[in-house]
Structure 1
Amino acid sequence: MADEINELAQSYGWPVVYETDRDFDRGIGREVNWGVTEQVVLGYLESHISNDCCLVGVGNDPELAERVVRQMDDDLEDEIESLAELLAAIQEDEDPRRLAQSLVRAGFGAPREFDEEFFDAFAKAARENDEYRVRDIAISSLVYIEWPEFKPMLEEIKAHDPEEQVRARASMVLRAYEAAGM
């Protein structure tokens, strides 16, 4: 999808200002940023796990960043999953592989403001799933959501999950939240 978004960005006159390829071994997905203005960047993030992607607008002009993302939503309307579809996938899918992919997509596409249903679905996957890799991916996906309501849950997981990898992931996400000023 990066190529399609690049074509759109080029049609608006936005140059690529940063690009990195996916590095699975280092846990890094593909990232491309286009300079909308000196104050706003349109960012494309692609998961190294699932190949799913998201767009974000960031910068010193939040209103313009929001308008840019809304424009991309309109331009890519047929290719963007709705919040209802994202939520249904993480609530209903029991296959660990598909659930993990759905969690990544839902992390990318979750609402900016706290949403009880998304919170409950992520909390269930992060705390209760029998497959530790699903718990790990659920926690990893929280880095994109950044709701302070997740912090107590992450602290609990960091202290009590039976898998070291999951405890370490909760610690990593908590550090990311701290770095983001949460």
Structure 2
Amino acid sequence: MKNSHIRLVPKESVSRAQVLRMAERACWEHYRTKDAPGGPPFEIIWVNSEQDAVVHWIEDALSQVDYFLVDGPGKSSLVKLIRSELDIHDKDSMVELAYEARGTPRAMRMLRLLGVFCSEGFDPDIFSIFDQALRDPEPIVRREALMSAANAGWGEFLPLMDEIRESDPDKAVREDAGAISDALRRRLEAGRHS
């Protein structure tokens, strides 16, 4: 499934103040701020000066990943601008991060980043990283990989999720695989009909 939006994940921590200054310099028009304690992630939305693209700054406490989501016909110029201002992950840096992520906490952080990063179409190298994580000896890493793979939204995950649903030694992982694969199927089906 190819999304119309692009998610940009900074390599280093970026403060909300830095993002606000960048938006001001770029003359983005503030559209809305969403901040519901205990609710969805904190989000600021701007419209670019040409009124043909939107930029979302999302601070997602659940995934523990802060990122940009850019959408609209004029998104390519906004992506270029953000990349010129901040050091943003690309495929190569994500693959490198995956190979450096040794140990459960680092692997889980990498999977959350990877799940947010995957807004483009299917990528076999990135899929391979998820495939490895879904076979990790630690159930908690497999569960994180399932949730992060759902963010990518690739139909190619379904056979693997079905296999995990049937044969993973951990009951919670099997249950997660079932629920996530069912939700992904519904999402993919809804995308075909929209």
TM range (shorter): 0.7 to 0.9
The aligned amino acid for 2:180 is: R
**CA distance in structure 1 between the aligned counterparts of 2:192 and 2:32, rounded to whole angstroms:** 24
**CA distance in structure 2 between the aligned counterparts of 1:23 and 1:99, rounded to whole angstroms:** 28
Shift >6 Å, 4+ stretches: none
The aligned amino acid for 1:35 is: V
Q: Which residue of 1 aligns with 2:11?
A: none
Q: In 2 relative to 1, CA 22–140 (structure 1 residues): closer, same or farther, beyond 3 Å?
A: farther
Q: Which residue of 1 aligns with 2:56?
A: 43
Among candidates 163, 173, 180, match of residue 169 of structure 1: 180
Q: In 2 relative to 1, CA 74–94 (structure 1 residues): closer, same or farther, beyond 3 Å?
A: same
The aligned amino acid for 1:101 is: R
- Give the number of equivalent residue pairs: 174
Hey, which of these two has a bigger chunk of helix by percent? Answer: 1
Q: Which residue of 2 aligns with 1:156?
A: 163
**CA distance in structure 1 between the aligned counterparts of 2:105 and 2:139, rounded to whole angstroms:** 12
Are 1:140 and 1:173, in contact at CA under 8 Å, matched by a contact in 2?
no
Deviation for aligned residue 1:154: 3.0
Among candidates 67, 71, 76, match of residue 86 of structure 2: 76
**Larger deviation: 160-169 or 40-49?**
160-169
Are 1:22 and 1:48, in contact at CA under 8 Å, matched by a contact in 2?
no
Percent pairwise identity:
22
**CA distance in structure 2 between the aligned counterparts of 1:93 and 1:134, rounded to whole angstroms:** 12
Q: In 2 relative to 1, CA 148–3 (structure 1 residues): closer, same or farther, beyond 3 Å?
A: farther
Deviation for aligned residue 1:139: 2.1
Query: Under a length normalisation based on structure 1, what TM-score does the superposition of the two structures give?
Result: 0.77
Per-residue CA shift, 1:46-65, capped at 9, x if unaligned? 33245322222112x1xx11
Q: Which residue of 1 aligns with 2:136?
A: 129
Greater relative contact order (Cα < 8 A, sep 6+): 2
Among candidates 94, 105, 112, match of residue 120 of structure 2: 112
Q: In 2 relative to 1, CA 11–181 (structure 1 residues): closer, same or farther, beyond 3 Å?
A: farther
Q: Which residue of 2 aligns with 1:66?
A: 76
Q: Which residue of 2 aligns with 1:89?
A: 97
**Tell me, which stretches of 5 or more residues in structure 1 are unaligned?**
none
Structure showing greater radius of gyration is 2
Are 2:162 and 2:177, in contact at CA under 8 Å, matched by a contact in 1?
no
